[in-house]
């Protein structure tokens, strides 16, 4: 039997067609049908049904959902490590200053105004400029004028990378106002209200290593200059510098952005690295209702955007990460430098 040109419908798979254009015997026709049926089968296996495609998409989505948090965590680990490196560079600068001057630098310099009031003039980070490869900016500073005076803008209106935490936002200009922020600051006193609210045991001193060159506070008698020998608790057991990330933007616990229109309103004050007000003391307002005393907000408080804790620079130049749930007595022992504290094992 001869077969002419025709379109054959494959009964096993609807919609599958083959065009035949050959002459063959009955046996050939039977073999050809078998070949065509096999072709239909292979054609079915080579494609995807809608259900199969949806399953693949779902699996890929699940895998991405599992991988993305791990990738983000790895990136944050790198940023936190870079933050530690920045703090160590600040620590190295402080020790370089110490080598030259035999004393630790003050947290800020002050002066007596014509009305008899003492006012802030320059921040410790300005004093450290020649030790962080910013000698040109240091040379441009007029030390007889305040940090924000027009004569000092050339020196102070620049961004210095090691003063910034990699986890914090990069661009922090607020509208048309440009900022030159720091994510690291001095903190030199735990005030009485904090001590009472946390139930801390009494100590002879509540100050950190770096102190201002003058203070009329009745809560402590020590002031700059501070010699290394005055750090009775040991350089490796005393905090030196702290994270204060994100300013002038307002951040709250967990790294959430705060309402910019609620008090304190954005932009937050004392955000620039040259501003002597960027340093602060621990006031009672920093203590949350659950007893947490840092990482609650970044308005002149110890605050980090690293999940779960913050990096701290020690007086020996090392930097370590501490959990935000650190025991209050342990924190106070590390904060104070001359109270005779004995740290628990492992610290």
Residue 18 shares a structural domain with residue 126: no
Give yes or no for a contact between 246 and 304, defined as CB atoms under 8 angstroms apart.
Answer: no
337 vs 7, residue with greater confidence:
337
The reply to whether 123 falls in a domain is yes
The reply to whether 346 falls in a domain is no
Reading the block at residue 279, the tokens are: 């340093």
CA distances from 326 to 144, 291, 293, 330 (A): 42, 11, 9, 7
Residue 77 shares a structural domain with residue 25: no
pLDDT of 122 > 90? The answer is yes
Residue 33 shares a structural domain with residue 181: no
Residue 10 shares a structural domain with residue 84: no
Residue 273 shares a structural domain with residue 201: yes
The reply to whether 51 falls in a domain is no
The reply to whether 107 falls in a domain is yes
Query: What does the pLDDT look like over 219-271, one tens digit per residue?
Result: 666 677 899 999 999 999 999 999 999 999 999 999 999 999 999 999 999 99
- Strand, helix or coil at 100? helix
Residue 305 shares a structural domain with residue 190: yes
The reply to whether 248 falls in a domain is yes
Q: What's the pTM?
A: 0.80
pLDDT of 181 > 90? The answer is yes
Helices and strands, counts by H and E, the chain: 7, 12
pLDDT of 214 > 90? The answer is no
Round the average pLDDT of the chain to a whole number and report it. Answer: 86
Mapping DSSP onto H, E and C, the string for 60-82 reads HHHHHHHHHHHHHHHHHHHHHHH
Predicted pLDDT of residue 82:
97
Residue 220 shares a structural domain with residue 106: yes
Q: What's the structural domain count of the chain?
A: 2
Residue 106 shares a structural domain with residue 37: no
The reply to whether 317 falls in a domain is yes
Residue range of the domain that includes 40? 6-45
The reply to whether 54 falls in a domain is no
pLDDT of 342 > 90? The answer is no
215's CB contacts (< 8 A; 6+ apart) are 223
The reply to whether 60 falls in a domain is no
Confidence category of residue 45, pLDDT binned at 50, 70, 90: low
Residue 74 shares a structural domain with residue 36: no
Predicted pLDDT of residue 21:
47
Instruction: Note the Cα 184 to chain centre separation in Å.
Output: 10
What does DSSP assign to residue 99?
H
Reading the block at residue 310, the tokens are: 């913050």
CA-wise closest residue to 334 among 286, 293, 299, 278: 293
Residue 291 shares a structural domain with residue 169: yes
189 vs 218, residue with greater confidence:
189
* DSSP string over 159-173: --GGGS-TTS-S---
Query: What does the pLDDT look like over 48-90, one tens digit per residue?
Result: 788 878 888 888 888 887 777 777 778 889 999 999 999 999 9
Query: What does the pLDDT look like over 297-327, one tens digit per residue?
Result: 999 999 999 999 999 999 999 999 999 999 9
Residue 17 shares a structural domain with residue 139: no
Residue 38 shares a structural domain with residue 74: no
Predicted pLDDT of residue 284:
95
Give yes or no for a contact between 163 and 256, defined as CB atoms under 8 angstroms apart.
Answer: no
């Amino acid at each position: 039997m001869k077969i002419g040109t025709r379109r054959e419908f494959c009964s096993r798979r609807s919609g599958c067609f083959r065009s035949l254009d050959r002459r063959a015997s009955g046996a050939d026709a039977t073999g050809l049908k078998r070949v065509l049926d096999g072709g239909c089968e292979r054609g079915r296996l080579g494609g995807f049904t809608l259900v199969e495609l949806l399953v693949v998409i779902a699996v890929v989505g699940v895998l991405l959902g599992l991988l993305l948090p791990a990738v983000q965590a790895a990136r944050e680990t790198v940023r936190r490590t870079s933050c530690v490196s920045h703090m160590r560079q600040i620590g190295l600068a402080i020790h370089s200053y110490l080598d030259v001057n035999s004393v630790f630098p003050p947290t800020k310099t002050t002066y007596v105004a014509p009305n008899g009031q003492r006012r802030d003039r320059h921040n410790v980070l300005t004093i450290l400029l020649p030790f962080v490869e910013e000698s040109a900016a240091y040379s441009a500073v007029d030390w007889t004028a305040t940090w924000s005076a027009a004569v000092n803008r050339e020196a102070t209106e620049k961004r210095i990378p090691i003063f910034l935490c990699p986890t914090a936002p990069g661009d922090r200009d607020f509208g048309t106002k440009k900022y030159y922020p720091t994510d690291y600051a001095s903190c030199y006193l735990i005030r009485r209200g904090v001590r009472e609210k946390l139930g801390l045991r009494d100590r002879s001193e509540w100050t950190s290593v770096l102190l201002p060159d003058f203070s009329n506070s009745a809560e402590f008698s020590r002031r700059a200059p501070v010699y290394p020998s005055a750090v009775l608790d040991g350089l490796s057991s005393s905090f030196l510098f702290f994270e204060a990330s994100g300013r002038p933007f307002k951040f709250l616990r967990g790294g959430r952005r705060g309402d910019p229109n609620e008090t304190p309103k954005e932009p937050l004050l004392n955000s620039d690295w040259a501003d002597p007000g960027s340093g602060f003391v621990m006031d009672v307002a920093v203590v949350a209702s659950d007893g947490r005393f840092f990482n609650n907000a970044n308005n002149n408080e110890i605050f980090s955007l690293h999940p779960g804790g913050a990096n701290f620079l020690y007086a020996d130049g090392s930097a370590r990460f501490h959990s935000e749930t650190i025991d209050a007595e342990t924190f106070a022992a590390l904060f104070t430098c001359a109270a005779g504290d004995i740290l628990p094992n492992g610290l």
